[in-house]
Structure 1
Amino acid sequence: MSAAMQALKSTRLITTERLMLIPPGRENLPDLIRLKADERVFGWMLHGVRSEQRTREELEDDIDFWEVRGYGTWCVFERATGDFLGICGLMERPDGRGVALRYALWPECRGKGYAREAARAALAFGHRAGLPRIIAVAREENEASRAVMADIGMTPAGDYRYQGHRMLVFESRG
Structure 2
Amino acid sequence: MRHAYPVPLPARLVRTGRLTLVPPGRENLPDLLRLKTDPRVFELMLHGVRSEERVREELEDDIDFWAVRGYGTWCVFRTDTGEFLGIAGLMERPDGRGVAMRFALWPECRGQGYAREAARAGLEFGHKAGLERIIAVAWERNQASQHVLRDIGMTECDAFEYRGRRMVVFESRR
TM-score range, shorter chain: over 0.9
In 1, Cα distance between the equivalents of 2:19 and 2:164?
Answer: 35
The answer to whether the 8 Å contact 1:9/1:23 transfers is no
How far apart are 1:44 and its partner, in Å?
Answer: 1.2
Residue equivalent to 1:17: 17
In 1, Cα distance between the equivalents of 2:33 and 2:19?
Answer: 21
Residue equivalent to 2:97: 97
If each structure's helix is expressed as a fraction of its own residues, which one has the higher value? Answer: 1
How far apart are 1:138 and its partner, in Å?
Answer: 0.4
In 2, Cα distance between the equivalents of 1:96 and 1:63?
Answer: 21
Residue equivalent to 1:86: 86
Residue equivalent to 2:149: 149
In 2, Cα distance between the equivalents of 1:126 and 1:40?
Answer: 27
Q: CA RMSD in A?
A: 1.1
Residue equivalent to 2:3: none
In 2, Cα distance between the equivalents of 1:24 and 1:10?
Answer: 14
Residue equivalent to 2:133: 133
How far apart are 1:10 and its partner, in Å?
Answer: 2.5
Residue equivalent to 2:72: 72
Kindly provide the CA deviation profile for residues 29-57 of structure 1, in whole angstroms up to 9, marking residues without a partner as x: 00000000000100010000001110000
Structure 1: gaps spanning 5 or more residues = 1-5
Residue equivalent to 1:120: 120
Q: How many residues align?
A: 169
In structure 2, the CA distance between the partners of 1:7 and 1:83, relative to structure 1 (3 Å rule), is: closer
Residue equivalent to 1:59: 59
In 2, Cα distance between the equivalents of 1:52 and 1:166?
Answer: 28
The answer to whether the 8 Å contact 2:8/2:23 transfers is no
The answer to whether the 8 Å contact 1:89/1:101 transfers is yes
In 2, Cα distance between the equivalents of 1:138 and 1:8?
Answer: 30
In 1, Cα distance between the equivalents of 2:62 and 2:158?
Answer: 27
In 2, Cα distance between the equivalents of 1:9 and 1:134?
Answer: 23
Residue equivalent to 1:3: none
- Determine whether 1:50 maps to 2:58: no
In 2, Cα distance between the equivalents of 1:105 and 1:97?
Answer: 23
How far apart are 1:7 and its partner, in Å?
Answer: 7.8
Question: 1:119 is paired with a residue of what secondary structure?
Answer: helix
Question: 1:9 is paired with a residue of what secondary structure?
Answer: coil
In 1, Cα distance between the equivalents of 2:51 and 2:146?
Answer: 27
How far apart are 1:9 and its partner, in Å?
Answer: 2.6
How far apart are 1:11 and its partner, in Å?
Answer: 1.6
The answer to whether the 8 Å contact 1:73/1:87 transfers is yes
Q: TM-score, normalised by structure 1?
A: 0.95
In 2, Cα distance between the equivalents of 1:130 and 1:35?
Answer: 30
In 1, Cα distance between the equivalents of 2:48 and 2:73?
Answer: 17
Q: TM-score, normalised by structure 2?
A: 0.95
